[in-house]
Chain A
Amino acid sequence: MTQHAVDLAPPIALPAGVRRRLTSAELAGLAGLGAIALLPIPFGSFGFFVGQFALVYAILGLSVVVVTGYAGLVSLMTYSFAGIGAMVTGVAMASWGWPFWLALPLAAVATVPVSIIVGVTAVRLKGLYLAIATLTFADALGETFFKWSRATGGQTGWVVSRPKPFVSDVSYYVLLLAVALGLVWMVTGLRSSRMGRAMLAVRTNEREAQALGINVYKTKLTAFLISGMLGGIGGGFLALLLKQVTRSAFQSPLVEATSILLVTVVVVGGIDRALGAFLGAVALVVQQQVFQGARFFFAYFGIYSAGLLIVFLLYRPGGLMQVARLQWRLIRARPRVGITVAVAIVAINVGVAWLFVRLG
C-alpha cells in the first residue's frame, strides 16, 4: 500500500541544483567535529587506542539510533549482532583466508537471518515486545552460536590481522574515522529519506502512521534489519581493532552489559540523531577507557552510566545534541556567558581526563 502513501513534507525544499550555504551553527559543529577528531594526538598511542574504541562504539551506536531513535523500538541485542559480525569476519579471514573487504559485507549480511527470526515475531506487536524478544535472543545466541567452535574458533577465538595500509594504530584510527563519519552521514540521510520519515512517523504514533498509508510492520522490520547490519559492520571493525576476538564477550552476562552500555552511549549523545551516536561514544567510551585503571571501576562506571542514562532521559532526552543546541543558542543570545560556559565545560572535562591519565 506504500504507493498511496502521503509524502511527508521534506525537511528543506530547494530547487534542484541550488546549493545551500552552511549556516554558522553547522560550521561551528564541523569545527567541533574536527577538534574531536584531532583529540587523540596529544595523548599519543593511548589516545589512538581509546579513539579507535570510541569510533567502533560510534558505529555500533548507529545501530541503536536507527532501531530505537528512529523507529522507537528498544533492542537489547545490539552487541550480539556485533558478535555475529566479529565472528563471521574472524571465520572468513582466519579460516577461509578471505580478505577483510570481502569478509565485512558477509559480516553485515550474516545478521539478516537472526534479524528476520526475531523481527518477524516481535515487531508486529508493540515496541515493548521487541525488547523482551531481543533480550531473550541475546541470551539464546550466547548458548548456541557463540558456543559453536567452528564459528567462534573455540576458547582462543580468531586471530585476525588488519589489511595492508591500515596496520598501525594511527592509520586504523583514520580508517575508522572515515568509516564512522561516512556511516553517520548515511544514517543522517536515512532520517530524511522516505523510509526514515516513515520510521519517525511510526515512532511518534503508530495508528496515525498507518492512517497515512505507511506499512508499519515493514517499516519496523526494515529498521531492525538495518540496525542488525550496522551492528555486524561494527563487529567486523571491532574484530580488527582487538586483533583477536573471543566468544566470552558475546555470552551472558557480558553481552547484555555491553548492549546496555551502547544504549547509554546513544542516549547520552542524542538518540534520534546519527551524530548523537558519535558524540555519545566520544564522551562515554573515552571516560570508560580512561577510568578503567581506577579502583572500583565497575561499580563506579555502572552507577555513573546508569545515572547518566536516567538523568538524560528525564531532563535532556535529546542528549548531548540537545545540550549543544541549547549551548549554541546561549552563545548566540549572550555571547560572553555562552562562550565562558562552553570553555569551562571543555576545560573541566579535559582537565579531569588528563589528571586520571597522569595518576592512573
Chain B
Amino acid sequence: MIAAHPVIEVTAFGLASGATFALLALGLVLIYRTTGTMNFSHWAIGLLAVVAYLLLANEGVPVVLAMLLALAISPIAGIAAYRFVFKKVPRANHVVTILITIGVAQLFASLAAMVLGFKTFTRLPPWLPQGRVSFAGARLNTTDVVTIALAVGVAVGFLAWFRFTRTGRALRAVAQNREAAMLAGIDDVRSATIAWGIGSALAALALLLVLPHVAGKQGGLITTFDITPFGTLLIPAFGAALVGGLVNLPMAVAGGFMFGLVRELLVLAPKPWSDLRSVVAALLILVLLVLRTERFFVTAQEREALEA
C-alpha cells in the first residue's frame, strides 16, 4: 500500500537469489584458486544433489534429513571428477581443462535428466519452513530470510575457516605458490581434493536452497532449463566470481549479492529493461571483463601461479 514496501520485498527477494549466486561463486573461486580449473560443471555437480534430495524425499525420508544426506552427493561427484579426470590433465593446459569441465557438465546433467525421466518439469518438496514474517511493514517470505541468513552464515564460517585454520592456510599457500607449498610439505593432491569437495558442497547447498523453493508454497520445480549443463544460474555466478577477479573470495560473495539485487530490482525498472535480465547480466560481465578485475586482487606471483 505504501511505495516503500515493494522495494523492501524485492530487495529481500534479490538478496535471496544473490545468496545462491554468492554460494555458487564461492565454490567456483575456491576451486579455481586452488587447482587452476574454472569449473563449468559447477551447476551440474550441484544438480546431482537436488536429484538425490528428490529421490530421498519421494522415499519418505524427512525433508531436512533428505537435504542433509543429499548434500554429500555433490562432493563425492566433484572429488571423483577431480581424481579420475582433472588430476590427469597437465595444469598448464587451459583449453583441455575447460573442454573437459564442459564434458563433465554434460555428463552429470544427462545423468540427472535420465534419473528424472525426461519430464518437462518435476515437483520438488520444500524443506525450509514456509510462511511470512513482517519486517518494517513489509511481509517477507520465510524461505528468503532463512536463505539469506544461511548463506551469510556459511560464507562467513567458510571464510573464517579459510583464513584461520591450518588446512585453510594450506589451501591459500597452494594458491599462492604451488611449488613452494609442496616443498613446505603441503600435499598438493589433498589440497585440491579438499577444494573440490568443499566447492561442490557449496554448489549443492546453493541449488538446494533455490530449486526446492522457487514456487513459494507449492515447493519447487526442476524444469528442462535447469537440467542443462550450465543451468540457469551459472552465468550470474560467473559474474559474481568476476567481481572478485575470479580469485577473491569475499568479493565473490559480495558480487553474488550484487548480481542478485540487480537481477531482481530490474523487475521495478521501466518496461524494456525489466525483461532483459540476461542482457543486463551480459553487459555487467562485459564491464567486469573490461575492468580486468583480477589485477586488483592478486599479487603478480599468484597470477603467475594461475596462468602457468
Chains A and B bind each other = yes
The residues of A with any CB-CB pair to B shorter than 8 Å are: 68, 72-74, 76, 117, 121-122, 124-129, 131-133, 135-137, 139-140, 142-144, 203, 252-253, 256-257, 260, 263-264, 267, 296, 298-299, 302-303, 305-307, 309-310, 313-314, 317
CA distance A360 to B107 in the complex (A): 25
26 chain-A/chain-B pairs, Cβ below 8 angstroms: A76-B102, A124-B292, A126-B94, A131-B38, A132-B242, A136-B282, A136-B285, A139-B282, A143-B276, A143-B277, A144-B276, A256-B228, A256-B229, A257-B229, A264-B106, A298-B113, A299-B111, A302-B107, A306-B103, A306-B104, A307-B103, A307-B107, A310-B85, A310-B103, A310-B107, A314-B88
Inside 8 A of A203's CB, which chain B residues have their CB? 95
CA distance A132 to B267 in the complex (A): 25
Inside 8 A of A121's CB, which chain B residues have their CB? 286, 289-290
- Given the contacts A126-B307, A131-B38, A136-B285, A302 and B94 also touching, CB distance less than 8 Å: no
CA distance A129 to B32 in the complex (A): 13
Interface residues of B in 100-121 (CB under 8 A from A): 100, 102-107, 109-111, 113-114, 118
Shortest Cβ distance from residue B97 to the other chain A in the assembled complex, whole angstroms: 9
Q: Which of A72, A127, A302, A309 has the most CB of B within 10 A?
A: A302
Interface residues of B in 256-286 (CB under 8 A from A): 275-279, 281-282, 285-286
Whether B130 sits at the interface, judged by CB under 8 Å, is no
Binary A-proximity of B226-269 (CB < 8 A = 1, otherwise 0): 00111010110011001000000000000000000000000000
Binary A-proximity of B62-100 (CB < 8 A = 1, otherwise 0): 000000000000000000000001001100001110111
Inside 8 A of A313's CB, which chain B residues have their CB? 89, 96, 99-100, 103
Q: Is the CB of A137 within 8 A of B282?
A: yes
Shortest Cβ distance from residue A67 to the other chain B in the assembled complex, whole angstroms: 10
Q: Is the CB of B229 within 8 A of A309?
A: no
Inside 8 A of B98's CB, which chain A residues have their CB? 74, 127-128, 131
Contact of A299 among B100, B118, B242 (CB under 8 A): B118
Q: Is the CB of B100 within 8 A of A309?
A: yes
Whether B225 sits at the interface, judged by CB under 8 Å, is yes
Inside 8 A of B229's CB, which chain A residues have their CB? 256-257, 260
- Nearest to A206 among chain B residues (CB) is B307
Q: Is the CB of B107 within 8 A of A306?
A: yes
Q: Which of A76, A296, A313 has the most CB of B within 10 A?
A: A313
Q: Is the CB of A133 within 8 A of B289?
A: yes
Shortest Cβ distance from residue A75 to the other chain B in the assembled complex, whole angstroms: 11
| Interface residues on chain B, size class | 35 or more
Inside 8 A of B275's CB, which chain A residues have their CB? 143
Inside 8 A of A307's CB, which chain B residues have their CB? 103, 107
Q: Is the CB of A140 within 8 A of B114?
A: no
Inside 8 A of A136's CB, which chain B residues have their CB? 235, 238-239, 278, 281-282, 285-286
Whether B299 sits at the interface, judged by CB under 8 Å, is no
Inside 8 A of B289's CB, which chain A residues have their CB? 121-122, 125, 129, 132-133
Q: Is the CB of B104 within 8 A of A310?
A: yes
Shortest Cβ distance from residue A141 to the other chain B in the assembled complex, whole angstroms: 9
Shortest Cβ distance from residue A147 to the other chain B in the assembled complex, whole angstroms: 9
Inside 8 A of A252's CB, which chain B residues have their CB? 225, 228, 232, 278
Shortest Cβ distance from residue A146 to the other chain B in the assembled complex, whole angstroms: 12
Whether B224 sits at the interface, judged by CB under 8 Å, is yes
- Given the contacts A299-B113, A303-B111, A314-B89, A132 and B238 also touching, CB distance less than 8 Å: yes
- Nearest to B228 among chain A residues (CB) is A253
Q: Is the CB of B290 within 8 A of A253?
A: no
Contact of A131 among B40, B282, B307 (CB under 8 A): B40
CA distance A133 to B242 in the complex (A): 11
Q: Is the CB of B290 within 8 A of A74?
A: no
Contact of B100 among A126, A127, A256, A310 (CB under 8 A): A310
- Given the contacts A127-B95, A257-B229, A310-B103, A143 and B279 also touching, CB distance less than 8 Å: yes
- Nearest to B242 among chain A residues (CB) is A132
Shortest Cβ distance from residue B258 to the other chain A in the assembled complex, whole angstroms: 16
Q: Which of A68, A253, A256 has the most CB of B within 10 A?
A: A253
- Nearest to B108 among chain A residues (CB) is A306
The 7 closest A-B pairs by CB, nearest first: A302-B110, A299-B114, A309-B103, A140-B282, A306-B107, A306-B106, A253-B228
Inside 8 A of A140's CB, which chain B residues have their CB? 278-279, 281-282
Q: Is the CB of A128 within 8 A of B94?
A: yes
CA distance A122 to B242 in the complex (A): 13
- Nearest to B115 among chain A residues (CB) is A299
CA distance A255 to B98 in the complex (A): 18
CA distance A260 to B103 in the complex (A): 8
Q: Is the CB of A296 within 8 A of B114?
A: yes
Q: Is the CB of A267 within 8 A of B113?
A: no
CA distance A251 to B286 in the complex (A): 20
Inside 8 A of A317's CB, which chain B residues have their CB? 96
- Nearest to B118 among chain A residues (CB) is A298
List 16 additional A-B contacts (Cβ < 8 Å) besides A73-B95, A121-B286, A314-B88.
A74-B99, A131-B98, A132-B285, A135-B235, A136-B235, A137-B282, A140-B282, A143-B275, A264-B103, A298-B113, A299-B113, A306-B103, A306-B104, A309-B99, A310-B103, A314-B89
Q: Is the CB of A302 within 8 A of B230?
A: no
Contact of B110 among A76, A139, A263, A303 (CB under 8 A): A303
- Nearest to B290 among chain A residues (CB) is A121
CA distance A305 to B102 in the complex (A): 11
Shortest Cβ distance from residue B108 to the other chain A in the assembled complex, whole angstroms: 8
Q: Is the CB of B110 within 8 A of A298?
A: yes
Contact of B235 among A127, A139, A264 (CB under 8 A): A139
Q: Is the CB of A299 within 8 A of B38?
A: no
Inside 8 A of A253's CB, which chain B residues have their CB? 224-225, 228
